[in-house]
Chains A and B, each alone.
Chain A
Amino acid sequence: MTQGRRARRVVMFVLAFALVALVWEGYKAIGPEEGGTLFGVRLLPRTGDRAMPHVWSMWNRLWDPEIRGGTESIFVVVMRATWYSLRVAIVAFVLGSSLGIGLAVVMARFRWAERAIMPYLVVSQTVPIIVLGPLILSLMAFASRDLAAETWLAAVFLGVFLAFFPVAVGTLRGLQATPPAALELMDSLASPWWKTLVKLRFPAAVSYIAPALRLAGAASVVGVVVAEISLGIRFGVGRLILSYGQEATSDPPKLYTAVFGAAVLGLLMAALVVAIDRVLMRHRPREAS
């Protein structure tokens, strides 16, 4: 049964991908070459090969060398950049989630801490992260943008900045949603606060924490890629999007190979988070999904 379900999932994934390609090519076939207006607004994208390269030319481009005369295919280059960004994003995810959980524990323990911290957490998320990148760089007084070892820390910082928030909010809600009867039981057993936290509040909050971690996974990827673009950090997939975008007029499919890398990055992070989810939710009764 589970095997059938898994097979169906794979099929649906491939089908959805094919559908996107089909819509792309379909629109490219019938859409106006130089774009068009809809309801008086320029909404319809141009469909020329420069703006919308064929799906197959993107595919073919993946296997050509990155630069003319180069030896490595662009696929290898993009995957290496993706792997780099993934590692940075994972560091951001782990640190951000830990920070979020830590904040949630403090806020769950002390009511005054919740009142003091929560408004700032909310405000923090309204700061545009594009602004934050350079700010962090200058704050931390990083010597040069070209020192990758230092700038990747800035990318981590941005990832953490986006990732901790859903975890803090979700975990706090979860920790506060412990059934009162269960708390009474732990009280009757004279359980100290932190043991109740570990043995009851956390396990009981897992169904709140797991979806928060999913959001954090996505947010850490966004934070890292945006940091790579806005700070021009080398090696990452964000940097590839930036530099390939500059070549879009001469080599349009190239940009899409970097976008493909970013998509793979997101998928890998999603897979990681699903794996964590599985571990957290083991032993739980599974509702039919």
Chain B
Amino acid sequence: MTQVAPEPGATAAPFAVEALGLGKVFNPGSPNQVDALVDIDLVVKPGEFVSLIGPSGCGKSTLLRLFADLIEPTGGSLTVNGKSAHQARLDQDYGMAFQQSGLFEWRSVERNIELPLELKGWDKAKRKARSTEMLELVQLTDFATHMPWQLSGGMQQRVAIARALAAHPQLLLMDEPFGALDEMTREHMQAELLRICARTGTTVVFVTHSIPEAVYLADRVVIMSPRPGRITEIVDVTLGRDRDELTREASEFFERVTQVREALRGIELAAGARGIEDR
């Protein structure tokens, strides 16, 4: 079909993700009940890049899994691409990438990328054309027939991104995809991801532990606090869309990093004084 990035019928929905009063309770009613997420309001616009950051246990991965319909919310409302998260999953409206690349070691690089297309029932020629296109996008054209174990960690993660984008989804959900990479590779991958998003216009929700990573990538950084998980602050990153290696040294960048860091520190202090400030 089309060689251009998004599938037709793309920007119909006004919001890529719309969560209102979203909540998740694990083991409700039992002694080990956990209020993982409480009262989450978050709207992600099409084409936007949103980072989720917060201390471990703040529910940022849980939130991502709610968006992906891998778990079900226990309260509130949620739409993805203007439909229920469940329908969005069935329609493969989003692609997902995890901390571990999760490539199937028995499949070549191109056949890994074609996995989502196989599940969509595409024929072989069409799959091949698309995987070639995706390999070009992530600049791994020469590695189509390599096996995953022959690739470096960064390259594997690029294949995973190519797989997540293979069906040209509107939305990319990423759970610490660069968390296992060394710092140099990581910065390189961040630049790659921005380049890919600029080309495809994909919306991204990106979970990370790293403050500079969150700021460098995102239009908005969503800061979350644990026990119960909720959004405490949203920082607008006004760095514009053209970001390069110089961006990492710009004073504006450092200001945003500091802003996010202080917001996170505030959470820690509040957690320390929780006995008093319990609301």
B-binding residues in A (CB < 8 A): 179, 181-182, 184-185, 187-191, 195, 199-200, 203-204, 206, 283-285
A284 touching B105 by the CB < 8 A rule?
A: yes
Query: Size range of the interface on B?
Result: 20 to 34
Contact assessment for A284 and B106 in the assembled complex, using a CB-CB cutoff below 8 Å: yes
Q: Evaluate contact between A191 and B70: CB separation under 8 angstroms.
A: no
The residues of B with any CB-CB pair to A shorter than 8 Å are 68, 70, 89-92, 94-96, 98, 100, 102, 104-108, 115-116, 118-119, 147, 149, 173
**Residue from B89, B107, B115, B147 in contact with A190 in the complex, judged by beta carbons closer than 8 Å:** B89
Q: What is the count of residue pairs linking A and B with beta-carbon distances less than 8 angstroms?
A: 50
Partner among B95, B100, B149 whose Cβ is within 8 Å of the Cβ of A181: B100
- Are B98 and A285 neighbours in the complex by a CB distance under 8 Å? no
Closest chain A CB from B118 CB (angstroms): 7
Q: Is the CB of B68 within 8 A of A203?
A: no
Show 17 residue pairs from A and B whose CB-CB distance is below 8 angstroms, ordered by the A residue.
Answer: A181-B98, A181-B100, A182-B102, A184-B70, A185-B96, A188-B173, A189-B115, A189-B116, A190-B89, A190-B90, A190-B119, A199-B104, A199-B119, A200-B104, A203-B106, A283-B107, A285-B147
Instruction: Compute how far the CA of A247 lies from the CA of B118 in the bound complex, rounded to whole angstroms.
Output: 64
Q: Which residues of chain A have C-beta atoms less than 8 A from B119's C-beta?
A: 189-191, 195, 199
If over half of A's interface residues share one DSSP class (helix, strand or loop), that class is named, otherwise mixed; here it is helix
A199 touches B115 (CB 8 A): yes
Task: Give the distance in Å from the alpha carbon of A185 to the alpha carbon of B174 in the complex.
Answer: 12
State how many angstroms separate the Cβ of A281 from the closest Cβ of chain B. Answer: 9
B173 / chain A contacts, CB cutoff of 8 Å: 188
Q: Contacts of A206 on B, CB cut-off 8 Å?
A: 106
B149 near A184 with CB under 8 A, answer: no
- In whole angstroms, how far apart are the Cα atoms of A188 and B94 in the complex? 8
Residues A199 and B118 in contact, CB atoms below 8 Å apart = yes
Known: A189-B119, A190-B92. A285 touches B100 (CB 8 A): no
Chain A CB within 10 Å — which of B91, B94, B105, B108 has the most? B105
Cα distance A84–B85 when bound, in Å? Answer: 60
CB distance from A282 to the nearest CB of B (A): 9
CA distance A272 to B102 in the complex (A): 33
The answer to whether A182 and B96 have CB atoms under 8 Å apart is: no
Which 5 A-B pairs rank lowest in CB-CB distance, beginning with the nearest?
A188-B96, A285-B149, A203-B106, A190-B90, A189-B119
- CB distance B106 to A283 under 8 Å? yes
Additional 19 contacts, C-beta under 8 A, given A190-B90, A285-B147: A182-B102, A182-B104, A184-B98, A185-B96, A185-B98, A187-B70, A187-B89, A188-B68, A188-B96, A188-B173, A189-B92, A189-B115, A190-B89, A190-B91, A199-B115, A200-B104, A206-B106, A283-B108, A284-B106
Assess the A203–B104 pair: CB atoms within 8 A: yes
State the CA gap A195–B91 with chains docked (Å). Answer: 16
Task: Name the contact of A283 in the complex, choosing from B68, B70, B147 (C-beta under 8 A).
Answer: B147
Which A residues touch B105, using CB under 8 A? 283-285
